[in-house]
Amino acid sequence: LGRPFWVDDALFDIDRHLHRVELGPPGDERSLAEAAGAVASRPLERDRPLWEMWAVEGLADGHVALIVKMRHSTIDGVSGANLMGRLFQLQPRAGSVPASLGPWRPRRQPGQMALLGRSLQGHLEAPVDMAGLVPRTARRLGVLLWRRGRPRGGGPAATRPFTAPRVSFNATITGRRSVAFSDVSLADVKKVTEAHGVTVNDVVTAVVGGSLRRYLLDHGELPHQALIAAVPVSVHREAADAKGVTKVSVMFSNLGTDIEDPVARLRVVAAANARAKDVQRMVGADTLVQWAQHFWLNGLSLGARLYSDLHLADHHPVVHNLVLSNVFGPPIPLYLAEARLAAIYPLGPIMDGAGLNVTVISREDRMGFGIVSCPDLVPSVWDLADAVPEALGELVGGRPSAR
Answer for the pair 341, 335: CB distance below 8 angstroms, yes or no: yes
Measured CA distances, 275 to 153, 154, 156, 318 (Å): 10, 10, 7, 21
Name the catalytic one among 17, 19, 63, 72.
72
Q: Which residue(s) pair with 357 in the sheet?
A: 323, 372
d(CA 230, CA 249) in angstroms, rounded, equals 10
Looking at residue 251, the DSSP 8-state letter turns out to be E
d(CA 82, CA 128) in angstroms, rounded, equals 34
Phi first, then psi: what are they for 89, rounded to 5°?
A: -120, 165
Answer for the pair 177, 373: CB distance below 8 angstroms, yes or no: yes
Residue 72 annotated among the catalytic residues of the structure: yes
Provide the CA 90 distance to its chain's centre, in angstroms. Answer: 26
**Of residues 4, 53, 50, 70, the one with CA closest to residue 349:** 70
**Of residues 310, 270, 264, 347, the one with CA closest to residue 65:** 347
- Helix axes of 112-146 and 262-283: crossing angle, nearest 10 degrees: 120
CB atoms < 10 A from the CB of 209, how many?
A: 27
Helix residue ranges per DSSP H, 219-296: 262-283, 287-292
The amino acid that residue 324 corresponds to is L
Active-site annotation, residues: 72
